[in-house]
Amino acid sequence: MSRAMPTVAERRRPTRAGRRYLLRTFGCQMNEHDSERVAGLFEADGMVPASGIDDADVLFLNTCCVRENADNRLYGHLGQLKTTKERRPDLRIIVGGCLAQKDRDLVRRRAPWVDVVLGTHNLHRALDLLDHAEEWGPITEIAEAAGEVTAAMLRAHRGTPHSAWVTITVGCNNSCTFCIVPHVRGPEISRRPGDVLREVEALARDRVVEVTLLGQNVDSYGRDLALDGRRKPVFADLLRRVGEVEGIERVRFTSPHPKDIKESVARAMAETPAVCEHLHFPLQSGSARVLRAMQRGYTPERFLKRLSMVESIVPGLAISTDVIVGFPGETEADFQATLDVMAEARFDSAFMFVFSPRPGTAAAAMEDRVDPEVAAERFGRLVELQRAISLEKNQALVATTVEVLAEGPSKKDAAVATTRTRTNKVVNVPGEYRAGTFLDVVVEHAAPSHLLGRAVP
Ligand code: SF4
């Protein structure tokens, strides 16, 4: 068996053994996973996690600019850190991630006490830049695009031992008008299938049983690659191959794009036992006019057609979605169209948001804003409709037996385990079950956001 190439961290001589690091992560799963990689990089260099800011030698802030007011919150946070840095000049502060990529020199101008500012494409350079800062003083390094060694190739230090995220693409080639991702993550770059598979096989050897393949638009995976000069790898094949890795019992992926999903992906889901019957399918709006303004590349009719194609091929499929209410120019008729699609699609769950402009996006410059009170009222109606649908769908599971994977004790009650079905529904089960344990449970009670069950002896 050939040995995998050493990671960037493995090639380095450990230089910070025993020093303590603290990671603070803002934003999405992609950022969470980037932070795991930074933790992996730090630990390969001999560093250990700190219990809090007071015993940290290195503080890494992994920023996000997708959430509302992210700028204000980051600069407020950095303002508080100024006194900490004055008190403890040896504390090294690193600011990385999307907001750093977007704001660049602004971070340094507003917070000159930060030692290192780096972007989304050069997280793997964190230690080198820290070395530089310690020798020469504060440094800002933002790469315009991912180079040959991207952060995706770094070995991650996982927060959960049994479950792992695996990046398959970084960046995005779309231009949804509300989204900052293409600006801060750059054009889409796919990892080679062999690299992805080697990572999954290594995770399986490490007793990981569940992997989630991550990309901004997993369906366009491979378009930038050419394996033998002619055939490009496609997502459906990757899904099948990941599902065949011995020891991996569950494969998830996020997010597919409704304009790009193919029948071959649905067939791979249905024909690969490890691939879970769950699809996150972001609608965003049910109005053709609003979808055009969002530049989503599909109509409501096409969305529903693609959805029923997947549903007809994958038995027992559960679907979740994202919806934005109050996008600029949204009329009552547009909003009603969203309610109509929600009622027809009958999603199992939905992440629902009121539109808030992200600086740097096209939508932020749109003028016909929806009155915040109107948007809030629409949001309330949307949530009410979705809760009723979620409850009905969950109630249909009462008295059935489902396979769940334990994630650890519930945050509210340590005597209850939080577990998850293959369809991505949370089931609370009395008892203590180690994270990573599979069990069968009988569902006894349903609520809109979770289920209660009892383990089958
Ligand atoms: S597909 Fe659209 S919403 Fe998703 S990351 Fe790309 S630009 Fe953003």
Summarize pLDDT for 276-313 with one digit per residue, the tens: 999 999 999 999 999 999 999 999 999 999 999 999 99
Region 388-405: what's the mean pLDDT?
Answer: 97
Query: Ligand 1: distance of its center to the CA of 182 in Å?
Result: 7
Whether 10 has a pLDDT exceeding 50, the answer reads: no
**Integer CA distances (angstroms), 142 to 39, 103, 301, 446, in order:** 20, 10, 41, 48
Torsion of CA 175, 36, 168, 66, to 10 degrees: -10
| Any ligand 1 atom below 6 A from CB of 181 | yes
3-class DSSP state for residue 203?
Answer: helix
Total Cβ atoms within 10 A of residue 186:
20
d(CA 371, CA 336): 17
Across 57-70, average pLDDT: 80
At residue 5, the pLDDT reads 38
* C-beta 361 within 6 A of ligand 1: no
Identity of the residue numbered 114: V
* C-alpha 360 to ligand 1 mean position (Å): 14
Angle between helices 29-44 and 126-136 (to 10 degrees): 60
Asked whether the predicted pLDDT for residue 224 surpasses 90, the reply is no
State which ligand 1 atom lies nearest to the alpha carbon of 295.
Answer: 2
Give this prediction's pTM.
0.77
- The whole-angstrom separation of Cα 89 and Cα 93 is 10
Q: What is the pLDDT of residue 95?
A: 93
Maximum CA pair distance of the chain?
A: 66
Which of 64, 120, 176 to mutate to test ligand 1, by most ligand atoms within 8 A of the CB atom? 176
The reply to whether ligand 1 has any atom less than 6 angstroms from the CB of 419 is no
Report, in angstroms and rounded to the nearest whole number, the Rg of the chain calculated over CA atoms.
23
Cα of 69 vs centre of ligand 1, distance in Å, is 20
Q: Rounded to the nearest 5°, which phi and psi values hold at 108?
A: -70, -40
Residue found by looking up tokens 């016909």 in the block: 368
Determine whether the shortest distance from the Cβ of 254 to ligand 1 is under 6 A. Answer: no
pLDDT of residue 358: 80
Q: What is the mean pLDDT of residues 43-52?
A: 86
Sign of CA pseudo-dihedral 329, 306, 319, 344? positive
Q: What does the pLDDT average to over 216-244?
A: 86
Q: Residue 341: CB within 6 Å of ligand 1?
A: no
pLDDT at 391 over 60: yes
Least confident range of 105-119, 272-286, 324-338:
105-119
Task: Judge whether 449 and 390 are in contact, CB under 8 Å.
Answer: yes
Tell me which residue has its CA closest to atom 1 in ligand 1: 174
- Spatial separation of the C-alpha atoms in residues 367 and 68, rounded to whole Å: 18
Q: Quick one: pLDDT band at residue 146, thresholds 50, 70, 90?
A: low
